[in-house]
Amino acid sequence: MARPKPHAIVPIMADAVRTVLVVEDDIAVARVLVALLAQVGQEAVHVTSGSEALERLEERPFGAVLTDLQLPGIDGMALLREVSRKWPGLPVIVLTAHGSVAVAVEAMKAGAMDFMLKPFDKDELLYVVGKALASSQSLEEQVPGATRAGADLIGDSPALRGVLALVRKVAAGTATVLVRGDTGTGKELVARALHEASPHKNGPLITVHCGALPDSLLESELFGYEKGAFTGATTRKPGRVELAHKGTLFLDEIGDVSPAVQVKLLRVLQERAFERVGGTQTIKVDVRFVAATHRDLEAMIAKGEFREDLFYRLNVVPIRVSPLRERTGDVERLARHFCGELGQANGRPRIAFDEAALAFLSTQPWPGNVRQLQNLVERLVVLSDGDVIGRTDVERELGVPALKPLVAATGDQSLDAQRRETEKEALMHALARASNNRTLAARLLGVSRRTLYNKLAEHGLA
């Protein structure tokens, strides 16, 4: 059956979502494809090989890939499989002069959205590309895209795109997810993205901050209690597990849970059933569990501090969120985002960073990760005199030279060694400014006290 005309179903407007990556080694055909897309206002980027296509995909997001099968080096089928693995959900259209039913079936099984033969029909090609871009836009609105997750996860680094690719893969299921990473990296935002893209998205997202509550309170907070279960229990209270029915329960800092509570959590994860404190009635729940921790759970297991069986129940799908120092390419985008958001909130909608300030921010080690950057931007927005935040403003608030920029490695000193040295100097400078008051030092650095203690221990300053 003939496909409908593109303008009748999926128009490609001048503001269409993102860009088409055209992978074609025949320069004449590539020029025709790029010109055809340009006629309808659609931007296209042309590469001549599969390896170059993968490099471009690592560098920036695309709305769709249009590829030939016969390519030098990595052929179109191998490229298709790699794109499906690394960027699941990114639409790939195969365009080839060497087509057959068997090849078409193989391409569709490998993840192709559509399969077209050369010579191609102009209207058919535009229809297929329009459909692919619409699919890409729909996916980005529903699930965290290559550059954002709702309005929360901001960035375009390979590390963040890897996280979002995993979110896309696992969100549709019910498997338990363990999000790991340093404090302040955005683990809760990953949990929210998983929930918003899951079958449970119409249910509640319930968060429990496990490290903030003592055992007795954590147990009743999780499982609820019956009237008379303990002194002060004057009415029945449902717990967070029960409230999360048909939704998602996010267990933040799961590594801080005591062995006694770990046993009860294990049962809930295994059977999706529990009893309230002081109760005898077994309650069944339909809950998707997401847990997060900054701690080394494997080391805790070796010390007998964390149950191995609970770890395996939690670690069904592990997702690691990289520290900000490993995705410095995201710093500028995050800083601009926070500046715009906090500028509006503080009555300074015109305030912005200049390029020198943004470049300088990208050189910093950020021991407190995204949270530290956000706190710094807020201070700059509030304290800066004009509408332009310059490098000198940033240096002033960072306490330079304590947080001097990292430079390329020289001699036998690696970049990581320089980063650790700079981080240690930042900690020492903050402690000196705070007269060794660790609460104040943590505030100066824009990190939590827990993060400060961890970093002090890491650098032998505890």
Look up the CATH architecture of domain 6-142.
3-Layer(aba) Sandwich (3.40)
Which residues of the chain fall short of a pLDDT of 70?
1-18, 99-102, 104-105, 108-109, 134-152, 400-416, 433-435
Residue 2's pLDDT is: 44
- What are the CA-CA distances from residue 212 to residues 221, 250, 254, 255, 369 (Å)? 11, 14, 11, 12, 20
Listed in order, the ranges of the chain carrying CATH 3.40.50.300 are: 153-322
The separation between CA 39 and the C-alpha centre of its own chain, rounded to angstroms, equals 35
Residue with tokens 């699930």: 143
Tokens of 377: 């931007």
Pairing mode, if any, of strands 273-274 and 224-225?
Answer: unpaired
The CATH T-level fold of domain 153-322 is Rossmann fold (3.40.50)
Q: Provide the sign of the torsion angle of the four alpha carbons 139, 144, 146, 151, taken in this order.
A: positive
Which 8-state DSSP code applies to residue 453? H
Decide: 150 and 191 in contact? Cβ < 8 Å: no
Residue 314's pLDDT is: 95
pTM across the whole model? 0.55
Question: Residues 70-110: pLDDT tens digits?
Answer: 898 888 899 998 888 887 778 899 888 876 656 766 776 67
Listed in order, the ranges of the chain carrying CATH 1.10.8.60 are: 325-458
Look up the CATH architecture of domain 325-458.
Orthogonal Bundle (1.10)
Listed in order, the ranges of the chain carrying CATH 3.40.50.2300 are: 6-142
CB atoms within 10 A of CB 68: 24
Alpha helices per DSSP H over 346-414 = 355-361, 369-383, 391-398
Decide: 65 and 94 in contact? Cβ < 8 Å: no
Residue 86's pLDDT is: 80
State the DSSP string of 10-51. Answer: S---TT-SS-EEEE-S-HHHHHHHHHHHHHTT--EEEESSHH
Mean pLDDT rounded to a whole number for the chain: 81
Residue 152's pLDDT is: 65
Where do the DSSP E strands lie in 210-259? 224-225, 237-238, 247-252
